[in-house]
Structure 1
Amino acid sequence: MNATTAVVDAVPSPVRLKAVAGPGQPEPTPALEQLYRAFESEMLVPLWTEIGGLMPSHPRSQAAAHLWRWSRLKDLAAEAGRIVPVGRGGERRAIALANPALGGRPYATPTLWAAIQYLMPGEDAPEHRHSQHAFRFVVEGEGVWTVVNGDAVRMSRGDFLPQAGWNMHAHHNAATEPMAWIDGLDIPFAYYTESQFFEHGRNAIDQAERGTPERSVSERLWGHPGLRPLSQPDAPQATPLLAYRWADTDRALGDQLALEEEGHAAGQGATLSPGHAAVRYTNPATGRDVLPTIRAEMHRVRAGARTRSTREVGSSVWQVFDGEGSVQVGERQWAVSRGDLFVVPSWQPLRLQAAAGTQSLDLFRFCDAPIFEALHQHRVQVDPD
């Protein structure tokens, strides 16, 4: 026996097998127990003992449905702003949502990261880049500019700001008040697939990059509906448009509900179901999702209306942008209002209900559907009622 073999043989096996009588299982006998001990020593696991967990009849998510209150998140982020600096090392004052069923990891779902990021007046978050795809969504506030490859992009309430992986980016707060927003990334997916890269950029952005233009370069090139600049490369894998403005999103949702009021039937080009308007943010060069691993949408539920119950392969994170209502995820139900965030695990039914009155319930959603569509494993089930 050589030294290498001895080291390998010394590794204790993590495999533990037990002969149990049951449908589809072999009869427990001394010979079967002996076979199982041999499997353990060679680190082998037979399918017949694991098939129920490996191949269930439908997805059984490891994540749990959970709700985070925006008011509490903001208070804690503000306290962190007072005592935790921003700079090299920590890089960002970002506080991640930890799904209670995922063992304390900073993951909202098995594939998605969501965090509240907080920047004090005059602060800069240093430049860096990473292979993970990311976005920012602003539920309230004004005054922070994100600078992506030197392009300063304004961040305002209701704006969605996607950013593909491996682009240098920094943030600076040019206002006199703190600002908070939501970060979304595919960090857990990159971690599990062991595909992540990270690189520091400059410690400080140039003075010229601290400008506060009303429109970024990306918006001036790509922010014209139906018009594509011929000077730009064909079919970028992620969106080249760095800001999707709330005014445009709001108008699109309002038009859908107005068309429904004018007699255009739900499901026939106006709304998803009575009183439920929705839009998807897309890559203006391809019409596909803004990011290769993340889908982002905005939903509006008319006051007093409720959505159909929907199940989907893959997980999602939702944030209430405005209004009040109730949310049912599986067996969990909550009353929600502006800023509240909740998680919908894979294949758990979701239903939204807007409160009665005059104000609609607006919600931002991001999910991992592009991953499952690329693998031909995506599935959606919508109840007819």
Structure 2
Amino acid sequence: MTTHVTRPDSPVRLRATDAPGQPDVTPALEELYRGFERELLVPLWTEIGDLMPVHPRSRAVPHLWRWESLRGLAERAGDIVPVGRGGERRAIALANPGLGGRPFATPTLWAAIQYLMPGEDAPEHRHTQHAFRFVVEGEGVWTVVNGDAVPMRRGDFLPQAGWNWHAHHNATDRPMAWIDGLDIPFQYTSEAQFFEPGRDEIGDAERITPERSRSERLWAHPGLRPLSAGELAPGTPLLSYKWEFTDRALADQLALESEGFGGTVEPGHAAVRYTDPATGGDVLPTIRVESHRVARGAETAPIRTTGSSVYQVFDGSGTITVGERTWSVTRGDLFVVPSWESFSARSEAGSTDSDAGALDLFRFSDSPIFEALRLDRTRTEGTTG
């Protein structure tokens, strides 16, 4: 007599189904499946639609977070939640509604609003996760990376490769908020992460407020590499990319376009990528970072890419479409573009809501991972590939 006994502790559960492409449902097939369950085996023919879809189907979903709501909750947390050991940082992560409540914006990317009260220090630590800070408003905080005090001001992008000591201090009488981006979900999934706490307080010699960090004085000179620099660790040695230079680059691209010389990625759409001055590559091994400016009335062509990205509206207003979702956005709003979801942006910015009269978007993505694995693919609507 044939028995159909499943191993009690087996997480494998197989169900014979009468469906196209599946074997006929028979007692012999049921017995075979019970044997697979006992030996912790899963046949490909029952999983191929999920494991090998015709195109990426991300568990993450398009979603928008309003900056006004995020900042208000961060302010309340500033009154209630301490920033010392235990929490380490007063950082509040975006949780994509498709990822089961985990603090992940996408399967590979973390994004959070961090809030520091007047006179506060965020204690020193280091981790293997690659990270950056981006300031959409305010100033007055200095991040201290390996003893180098780096000012943080509106529009500044501050990358920091993994396993570098870092702390923050607020030198003013006003609170300040910014966004953090890290590859926490990627390192969590790949089980590669390390973390080490440092000093509870930074020293007086580091509690300074220079206009430029030591890294900027050495590396922030376009096209010039210091001959004193020897072999460098992965990740950019430049700890601050100031908004004034990003703004000028984007404005010059649009000006060149208006003069008939090109320079934009498409009509009305200027874009730059932050790069490592030592290599010309991405600023971080696992994260690509860009700034985009869309002139008023211009609309970007819908585009799909493998890998995911997070955007923050730096300035202006407009309409964003991600997959089947469309939102009106304003300064500070954050949104997610999952893998292979179509993305486009239309600028409705003007002189009343934008310094440049355009829609400025800050974007970070996991593109370096996909390119390193030769899994990168991009498709613009109306083309094939």
TM-score, length-scaled by structure 2: 0.95
Match of 1:83 among 77, 80, 85: 80
**What pairs with 1:337-376 in structure 2 (closer than 5 Å)?**
337-355=330-348, 357-358=350-351, 359-376=357-374
Q: Is the 8 A contact 2:236 2:283 kept in 1?
A: yes
Task: Report whether the alignment pairs 1:31 with 2:24.
Answer: no
Q: Is the 8 A contact 2:349 2:359 kept in 1?
A: no
Call closer, same or farther: CA 1:356–1:179 in 2, change over 3 Å. closer
Task: Report whether the alignment pairs 1:171 with 2:168.
Answer: yes
Q: Is the 8 A contact 1:96 1:107 kept in 2?
A: yes
- Counting aligned pairs with the same residue, the percent is 71
The equivalent residue for 1:3 is none
Match of 2:267 among 265, 270, 274: 274
Task: Report whether the alignment pairs 1:68 with 2:65.
Answer: yes
Please state how far the C-alpha of 1:235 moved relative to its aligned partner.
Answer: 5.2
For 1:356 and 1:141, locate their aligned partners in 2 and report how far apart those are by CA, in whole Å: 21
Letter in 2 for 1:213: P
Q: Is the 8 A contact 2:316 2:349 kept in 1?
A: no
Task: Report whether the alignment pairs 1:125 with 2:118.
Answer: no
Aligned CA RMSD, in angstroms, stands at 1.2
Q: Is the 8 A contact 1:316 1:368 kept in 2?
A: yes
3-state DSSP class of the match of 1:101? coil
Please state how far the C-alpha of 1:241 moved relative to its aligned partner.
Answer: 0.2
Q: Which 5+ residue runs of structure 1 have no aligned equivalent?
A: 1-8
Please state how far the C-alpha of 1:20 moved relative to its aligned partner.
Answer: 1.1
Which deviations, in whole Å up to 9, do the C-alpha atoms of 1:41-87 show, x marking residues without a partner? 11100000100100000000000000000000000000000011110
Please state how far the C-alpha of 1:114 moved relative to its aligned partner.
Answer: 0.2
Task: Report whether the alignment pairs 1:314 with 2:311.
Answer: no
Please state how far the C-alpha of 1:276 moved relative to its aligned partner.
Answer: 0.3
For 1:197 and 1:277, locate their aligned partners in 2 and report how far apart those are by CA, in whole Å: 38
Task: Report whether the alignment pairs 1:227 with 2:224.
Answer: yes
The equivalent residue for 1:153 is 150
Q: Is the 8 A contact 1:152 1:210 kept in 2?
A: yes
For 2:349 and 2:252, locate their aligned partners in 1 and report how far apart those are by CA, in whole Å: 21
For 1:102 and 1:356, locate their aligned partners in 2 and report how far apart those are by CA, in whole Å: 33
Which deviations, in whole Å up to 9, do the C-alpha atoms of 1:325-379 show, x marking residues without a partner? 0100000000000000000000000000000645200010000000010000011
Match of 2:317 among 302, 310, 324: 324
3-state DSSP class of the match of 2:205? helix
3-state DSSP class of the match of 2:296? coil
For 1:231 and 1:10, locate their aligned partners in 2 and report how far apart those are by CA, in whole Å: 64
Number of residue pairs the alignment of both structures matches: 373
For 1:274 and 1:145, locate their aligned partners in 2 and report how far apart those are by CA, in whole Å: 38
For 1:310 and 1:184, locate their aligned partners in 2 and report how far apart those are by CA, in whole Å: 23
Please state how far the C-alpha of 1:283 moved relative to its aligned partner.
Answer: 0.4
For 1:160 and 1:338, locate their aligned partners in 2 and report how far apart those are by CA, in whole Å: 16
Q: Which 5+ residue runs of structure 2 have no aligned equivalent?
A: 1-5, 352-356
Q: Is the 8 A contact 1:235 1:286 kept in 2?
A: no
Which deviations, in whole Å up to 9, do the C-alpha atoms of 1:178-231 show, x marking residues without a partner? 000000000000000000100011111110101100000000010000000111
For 1:384 and 1:238, locate their aligned partners in 2 and report how far apart those are by CA, in whole Å: 36
TM-score, length-scaled by structure 1: 0.95
Match of 2:251 among 249, 254, 267: 254
**What pairs with 1:206-225 in structure 2 (closer than 5 Å)?**
206-225=203-222
Letter in 2 for 1:132: Q
The equivalent residue for 2:182 is 185
Greater mean deviation of Cα atoms: 351-360 or 135-144: 351-360
**What pairs with 1:44-55 in structure 2 (closer than 5 Å)?**
44-55=41-52
The equivalent residue for 1:5 is none
Please state how far the C-alpha of 1:234 moved relative to its aligned partner.
Answer: 3.5
Stretches of 4+ moved more than 3 A in 1? Answer: none
The equivalent residue for 1:303 is 296
Q: Is the 8 A contact 2:7 2:38 kept in 1?
A: no
3-state DSSP class of the match of 1:210? coil
